[in-house]
Structure 1
Amino acid sequence: MTITAPQLVTPTDGQRFRFGDQGLTLTVKNAAATGSSTLTYTFQVASDAAFGSVVFSKDGVAEGNGQTSLKIDRLSGNKDYFWRARVNSGSLAGPFSKGRTFNIGPEVVLQAPTLSAPANNGQAGGSVLSLTVVNAGRSGPAGQIVYRFEVSDSSAFTNLIGAATAAEQDGQTTAQVSANLTTNATYYWRVQATDPSNGVTGPFSSVFSFKYVPFDMRQAIIIDSPPGLGGWNETAHITRVDFTGDAFLVDFDRRDGPDRWRDLDFGDGRGGTLQYTLGMCANLRGQWFCSAVVQFWHGRDLAASTPPSYVGRNWFYDSRWGPLNGYQPQNGETVGLFVGTGNLRDKTFTVCPQICERSNVALVPWHNDDTATYTFLSAGTRTLGLRRH
């Protein structure tokens, strides 16, 4: 009886695979043999060209129609391998084919990301739902990581009501999820990291719940600022918020340029002027409180706000701020930042003395110690969302 060696088809010689492409399938073109015996195939994979170190071997593989294939076990990564095959007829073994090489790339492992904001059992608000995670840990030469954010009305995630993907950002990653949320209803969210270039997907994060409490400044309690502030015309928009560790810098579209807010009388009878006052809104036990605190003349450095971790001592430092007295936002807590025309600190007027306008309230996760940048996209009078860098 005569048996020829099978012809190797795939993998091709020198072919490279990602670690995540496993398990691989070895395919040969069937060998020719005389006689009527049933033919089976043996496949071998080795870590050396002489096949002295065989790492995978399988005998008795039934012949297919024209070609014969075998899916092999997972192999170690970051290595070159050699493979070959032969035909068997009963106890008679044919010659092995000439070996071919292929390469398995290094293994990349992604861990689950850590949910940050909103905190578990916390609250979320705003016209766009903003979710933030601490980036997933990883081992191996990972490529660009992409995060999938999922929101559901059940902890089992049997019904997704919103999902979004976002490319990894520095340290933490934030995504805006479009979802039809019901006021005061409870929702659940989770996140999963993927490395598309390596074909690797990590496990889902833990599951956090949050209550949706939409923000409306008209429903907020205004402290140490004009009580009607929430109902003022919204004529400016926050464009960027930077957390540097030394300050939080809040910029808006009417701070400079020909359409900037003009300087207004300071209101102390001394003839001084002020362009705007920077303020903050905080959600304390389900109730929003807002106060405009730091006064800015035109051209004042945005870093005059204060270090983020000093808000409790430099902004809300005495009884004038009532429930906000000593309030210090925690890392990842959602706060609102806004600006209003002129001097709004220690002002309680109900009749507008000059120009009474404010910006939108930008809701962002707070950062006491690390750096973060949020840029806002605006169209007309409606803020569309933010991007975390």
Structure 2
Amino acid sequence: MAQTCKRTLKTVVLLAAAPMMVACDSEHSSNPLSPTIAGPLAGITITTPAAIQPVDGQLIAVDTQPVTLVFQSAVSDSPRPFWHEAQIAEDGNFVSILHTFEKIPSGEGGMVSVDLPLTLDPGRTYHWRARALDGANTGPYSNGASFEIYTPVTIDAPTLTLPPNGASIQTNTPVLSVNNATVSGPASDTVYRFEISPTPSFSSLAELLSVPPSTGPTTSAQPSGLGDDLTYYWRVHVRARGRAGDVVGPFSATWSFRTPTVVLGIPVPSSPDGSATTPTTRPTYVVNNGTVSGPVGTVTYLVQVATDLGFVEIVDSPSTVRSSDSQTSVASQVDLAE
């Protein structure tokens, strides 16, 4: 009797299990919402996400990370819910993948935005792409877009050193000097721009001088020639080229200086004097030099000889360079009438 019952129970268990296996196989192939569905669903389309940011070729400063990926969500006609996947790679073929975002849901208005959870090294180009999938069907990747992480150039203001602020100088061509500005980052074509103006507002410029930085701690520029006895204002800033374009640093403080007063004393005729009779019709005129002070160049004396005290009828007007001695001689240019 015991043997008969055991055999019967075994048969019942096998018969009960067979329908369960058949039902399981039927659910796996027919329910499109099943997480274990096998293979893609026929006739289903998942569109390509539209990459928005970073755009292809975009430059991103290293200090503005993390990098944010923004793309327009894909569209699907599948009854299954879908999600997105995005990749960051070191190469355009996406062989060396640095990070993969998985299970990214669609955002509001169909816009998707994710921050990269790692810091990328500067001086390199990276690539990214995105796609949508639902576990059964997988949409195509967006076109790969590249971006570069770069180190920005920063420029501090230079410090003015000479001439001292408010100084009265002894030349119209002063040497203007600054302590070099601190420039960080991969800068090139660095230029110091010296602005010199007759007004503190710099509404007009007397001179604008652009010079490269010196190899030492200071950089200097020299104007070609400023006016006499005038106050000038000056300031300096630095420009350089960085990876993302030209970078303009801040201006230094504004300083002033005053140019010297030029004094040209009046020369005094010495000979021939008013009562003298010359033995020649081509006399040599001798004058006692006038006082000269200030930053002057070449001083020229012009002698005029007339037949009247009003100097209406000028008969001779020779000129010559002022002598460094106490007197200057000027030779007549014509024969004077006797």
| More strand as a share of residues | 1
TM-score by length of 1: 0.39
> RCO higher in 1 or 2 (8 Å CA, sep ≥ 6)?
1
